[in-house]
Amino acid sequence: MPASRLLPAYRPIRKPRPAPADFEDPSLPPRDPLRWLKLATTIVEQASRERPADTLLRQHLRDAGRLSNEDAAQTSQAVFAYFRWLGWLDTTLKLESQIRSALEFTAKYAANPKSFRDADLLARTLPPWVNDAVPVSAAWLRTIQAEPTLWLRVKPGRLQALAQVLGHNRTCPLPDALAYFGEEDLFRRPEFHAGEFEIQDVASQAVGMVCGAKPGETWWDACAGEGGKTLHLSVQMQGKGMIWASDRAEWRLKKLKLRTARAQCFNYRAAQWEGGAKLPTKTRFDGVLLDAPCTGLGTWQRNPHARWTATPEDARELAAVQKQLLHHAAPAVKPGGKLIYSVCTLTRAETEEVAAAFQAAHPEFTPLPLPNPFQTHKPAQAQHCLWPQGTGGGGMFIASWRRTEQVEVTPPTAAPLSPQ
């Protein structure tokens, strides 16, 4: 499986605060007023399935030398606007003209979303295969055509104080979630380096809330990546108990180590896990979180390039991987323990069909109804499909089970796990 199919942890590109229009830094060379457009055009030309646009954008902004704040901001907006409105563009025009058109669509949509008809959104926003894989709605498309919100997960008890310090924000139903609308580079804030908040999408925060880890428990974050959900579990556990964090990629675990140090998270152990039957530890856990690799349809608002690189074959192949990961992780759950499956995608093949296949193959697990963090007033359910128009952030599917007894299970027939 190509590594491009496994989306990297999201590191937001914040638009730097532009300098005043009448300010000219004498230490910089004379500003080319179209530098941002030339740079955006280069990035769009180079972007491909193997070279995602968001990765290329970071590389080019890093390597562009003394790029002004204004140029960096305009470049970022132009690249994402192009892929967000790609289905609406006249491809007979030069690429620079297409990018300008995409920016015009962005401004028009921000000013008056109702000027875009539902029928046009349904016909032009996504590749055709998605209609067969996902219950597409105009509400979803209207949400992902807007620019995304940057969400913070704030240290418990610090929400109001941080909101006052940062400004440009609003809260949401999740107790520690804060939406930030300012232009500041939050990675430079002293509060970030002091571990008072993490950059984490609100849908990802919902996964941690569904887990409901408690102090003194043992948990396994089986596909931990760079550790966003590991940190959330640790906060829930108040630093008491133990978390095993595993991933197939050693470089992700190295980044996890840096993040946990900054966040002062010490109740964890990191270990590589290839996703097979050989587990990183013989420990049996109170809870196992499997946040599996997926096609990432739930991230298409903030990562519009991925709309045009994902394929239906990806969904089928990843569904097979997800089923095997669940099967291999299941024995690590102790009787009475929880198994939480989450994916930041919305295809039927990777969500309800994977959950149904696991349930059929594992009678030792029973569905565990848990509250929807965004709708706590409604009855608990064992499966939650969280759509961006309902979260204010990304999309996510979550399924939960409880292990009731020890049962020997015959391994399912499935394709072998492919390397990342």
Q: What is the CA radius of gyration of the chain?
A: 22
Contact 5, 318 (CB under 8 A): yes
Letter string b/e over residues 265-297, b meaning 16 or more CB atoms within 10 A of that residue's CB = bebbebeebebeeebbeeeebbbbbbbbbbbbb
- Give whole-number Cα distances, 185 to 74, 188, 199, 260, 312, in Å: 15, 6, 11, 20, 37
Catalytic residue among 172, 211, 265, 344: 344
Instruction: Tokens for 365, please give them.
Output: 């697990």
> How close are the terminal C-alpha atoms of the chain, in Å?
6
Pairing type for strands 177-180 and 150-154 reads: antiparallel
Q: Please, how many CA atoms are within 13 Å of residue 404, restricted to the half-sphere of its CB?
A: 9
**Is 344 among the residues known to form the active site?**
yes
Cα angle 275-8-6, degrees, rounded to a multiple of 5:
50
Name the residues annotated as catalytic.
344
